[in-house]
Amino acid sequence: MSKTIAINAGSSSLKWQLYQMPEETVLAKGIIERIGLDDAISTVKFDGRSESQTLSIKDHTVAVKLLLEDLKRFGIISDFSEITGVGHRVVAGGEIFKQSALVTDEVLAQVEELAALAPLHNPANAAGIRAFREILPDITSVVVFDTAFHASMPEVAYRYPLEDKYYTDYQVRKYGAHGTSHFYVAQQAADILGKPLEDLKLITAHIGNGVSLTAVDGGKSVDTSMGFTPLAGPMMGTRSGDIDPAIIPYLVEHVPGLDDAAAVINVLNKESGILGVTGRTNDMRDLEAGVEAGDPKCQLAYDMFADRLKKFIGQYLAVLNGADALVFTAGIGENAANLRAKIVEGLTWFGLDIDPEKNVFGTTGIISTDAARVKVLVVPTDEELVIARDVEALRG
Ligand code: AMP
């Protein structure tokens, strides 16, 4: 009997989920937001209850202490010694980490060095790791990388058409992201289809606030839409996705206030995508409501969002030379049935076809017609479970 906690630390937040392993039962989960502020909020969910408190939380160490004490306070654990493992999601593993690893001083230093590839994420991930090491130094501590699943991409897919030195001296290449999610839903899809993953060609579409698609051949990522950073790929909630890079210096030259490339990248990351086109929301539910109400900007954003997704699916049908299934996952992919229908409507020539009776809100599993050559699936993602499983696997 062991309890394992999966941690997803952001710059000012820390999401966590506590599992009973190996049963994989979720005992509790929660989120601490606004870390660093006097009015941080901690929410703990367990046994159908949700408990929130607002208090000052100076840093990630304080946040970790609070969450552990809350586990005792709510009777979810009676002693810290019950927690035997912790798994930390880390966004960038660079070329160093091709799989999950036990945390050592060296591994922690490498995670911090890789901050150049994920400046918003890796420092926060490292802060979460440090906090647990300080408070529970003896438990199994594991890092699980968003990029690791994509380590199998062939060079033809991960290299950019640039001079060699930019790759060899500066590590500029495609790394991808959302790897744990793509891996998990690919495995689930194989179960649903009743075939070994090794025999399947899948396109996994993680469509949440961040969006990435992956071509999965025989269980291995062979191409993915996020790139050197998570800014690449289709349009997202607040990120532009792929644009002509020549736009960047053009904006620096012409737009007052956008003084350098970093300022433009900030706009492309945080003020673009659905938010940029609508001018008011990055949220799919709001966007759908805007379309319903006849707002032309919402309609345009919705149509563009579907268009970019459809084009990436087309690319990956080409990469794989046909696929067995397209798998929708994450907040939008799992819930936005109309969007799924709109995307697949434009792919019927390729053998995809949705059954409107199956493609309803709340459904999971196969949503394509029986006759469809390429099946379409909805699979809820579970990145935390992958993290908890990797901790178990490395606990030995
Ligand atoms: P994620 O980043 O995976 O949490 O996904 C967040 C996105 O999922 C947001 O754009 C939400 O609006 C969207 N989403 C969540 N629930 C629904 C729903 N019922 N219908 C449409 N979109 C949803």
- Would 180 be classed as within a structural domain? no
Atom of ligand 1 nearest to the CA of 381: 3
Which of 238, 277, 284 gets mutated to test ligand 1 (max ligand atoms within 8 A of its CB)?
Answer: 284
Atom of ligand 1 nearest to the CA of 209: 2
pLDDT for 225: 98
> Tokens representing 65?
């202490």
194 assigned to a ligand binding site = no
> Tokens representing 14?
């820390």
Q: What is the DSSP string of 74-86?
A: TTS-S-GGGEEEE
Atom of ligand 1 nearest to the CA of 330: 3
Give the least confident one: 79-88, 112-121, 219-228, 357-366.
112-121
Distance from Cα 334 to the centre of ligand 1, integer Å? 8
pLDDT for 117: 85
With beta carbons less than 8 A apart as the criterion, state whether 15 and 31 touch.
yes
Cα 183 from chain centroid? 11
Confidence band for 116, pLDDT divided at 50, 70 and 90:
confident
Nearest to 153 by CA among 227, 206, 240: 227
Burial 11-38 (b: 16+ CB within 10 A, else e): ebbbbbbbbebeeeebbbbbbbbebeee
- Would 383 be classed as within a structural domain? no
End position of a domain, from candidates 145, 170, 187: 145
Distance from Cα 275 to the centre of ligand 1, integer Å? 14
130 assigned to a ligand binding site = no
Q: Residue 265 pLDDT more than 80? A: yes
- Would 135 be classed as within a structural domain? yes
332 assigned to a ligand binding site = yes
- Would 390 be classed as within a structural domain? no
Confidence band for 29, pLDDT divided at 50, 70 and 90:
very high
Q: What is the DSSP string of 19-34?
A: EEETTTEEEEEEEEES
In this structure, the answer to whether residues 256 and 118 fall within a common structural domain is: no
pLDDT for 120: 76
pLDDT for 121: 85
pLDDT for 85: 96
Virtual torsion, Cα 28, 383, 204, 155, nearest 10 deg: 180
Q: Residue 69 pLDDT more than 90? A: yes
In this structure, the answer to whether residues 349 and 201 fall within a common structural domain is: yes
The 10s digit of each residue's pLDDT in 319-355 is 999 999 999 999 999 999 999 999 999 999 999 999 9
In whole angstroms, what is the distance from residue 280 CA to residue 127 CA?
33
With beta carbons less than 8 A apart as the criterion, state whether 46 and 27 touch.
yes
Domain that holds residue 106: 2-145
The mean pLDDT of 188-205, rounded to a whole number, is 98
Q: Residue 1 pLDDT more than 80? A: no
In this structure, the answer to whether residues 208 and 134 fall within a common structural domain is: no
**Residues framing ligand 1 (Cβ under 6 A):** 208-209, 237, 283-285, 330-332, 335-336
Protein residue whose Cα sits closest to atom 21 of ligand 1: 336
Kindly report the number of other CB atoms within 10 A of residue 170's CB atom: 11
With beta carbons less than 8 A apart as the criterion, state whether 152 and 179 touch.
no
In terms of Cβ atoms closer than 10 Å to its own Cβ (0-12, 13-18, 19+), residue 385 is middle
Confidence band for 396, pLDDT divided at 50, 70 and 90:
confident
Helix axes 383-395, 179-193, angle to 10 degrees: 90
The 10s digit of each residue's pLDDT in 266-315 is 999 999 999 999 999 999 999 999 999 999 999 999 999 999 999 999 99
The percentage of the chain sitting over the pLDDT mark of 90, rounded to a whole number, equals 93
194: left (phi over 0), alpha (psi -120 to 50) or beta: left
Give the 3-state secondary structure of residue 254.
helix
Distance from Cα 208 to the centre of ligand 1, integer Å? 6
- Would 60 be classed as within a structural domain? yes
The 10s digit of each residue's pLDDT in 148-176 is 999 999 999 999 999 999 999 999 999 99
338 assigned to a ligand binding site = no
> Tokens representing 364?
């999971």
pLDDT for 147: 96
In this structure, the answer to whether residues 135 and 246 fall within a common structural domain is: no
Confidence band for 10, pLDDT divided at 50, 70 and 90:
confident
pLDDT for 140: 95
- Would 288 be classed as within a structural domain? yes
End position of a domain, from candidates 103, 122, 145: 145
In whole angstroms, what is the distance from residue 167 CA to residue 165 CA?
5
Burial 341-361 (b: 16+ CB within 10 A, else e): bbbbebbeebebbbbeebbee
CATH of the domain at 59: 3.30.420.40
pLDDT for 12: 86
Q: Which amino acid is at 220?
A: K
In whole angstroms, what is the distance from residue 73 CA to residue 57 CA?
18
The mean pLDDT of 132-153, rounded to a whole number, is 95
pLDDT for 119: 79
- Would 99 be classed as within a structural domain? yes
- Would 395 be classed as within a structural domain? no
pLDDT for 271: 96
Distance from Cα 396 to the centre of ligand 1, integer Å? 37
Strands 365-366 and 375-378: antiparallel
For 38-196, where are the alpha helices, taking DSSP H only?
Answer: 60-73, 105-113, 122-135, 155-158, 164-168, 179-193
The residue from 146, 353, 382, 390 that is catalytic is: 146
282 assigned to a ligand binding site = no
Average pLDDT of the residues of the chain: 96
Atom of ligand 1 nearest to the CA of 286: 12
Stated length of the chain: 396
- Is 324 known to be catalytic? no
Protein residue whose Cα sits closest to atom 23 of ligand 1: 332
* Cα separations in angstroms, 45 against 31, 191, 275: 9, 29, 30
Name 26's bridge partners: 19
Distance from Cα 328 to the centre of ligand 1, integer Å? 12
Protein residue whose Cα sits closest to atom 12 of ligand 1: 284
Atom of ligand 1 nearest to the CA of 282: 10
Kindly report the number of other CB atoms within 10 A of residue 232's CB atom: 21
Domain count, the chain: 2
In this structure, the answer to whether residues 363 and 246 fall within a common structural domain is: yes
389 assigned to a ligand binding site = no
Confidence band for 251, pLDDT divided at 50, 70 and 90:
very high
With beta carbons less than 8 A apart as the criterion, state whether 145 and 386 touch.
no
The 10s digit of each residue's pLDDT in 348-387 is 999 999 999 999 999 999 999 999 999 999 999 999 999 9
In terms of Cβ atoms closer than 10 Å to its own Cβ (0-12, 13-18, 19+), residue 393 is exposed
pTM: 0.94
pLDDT for 169: 95
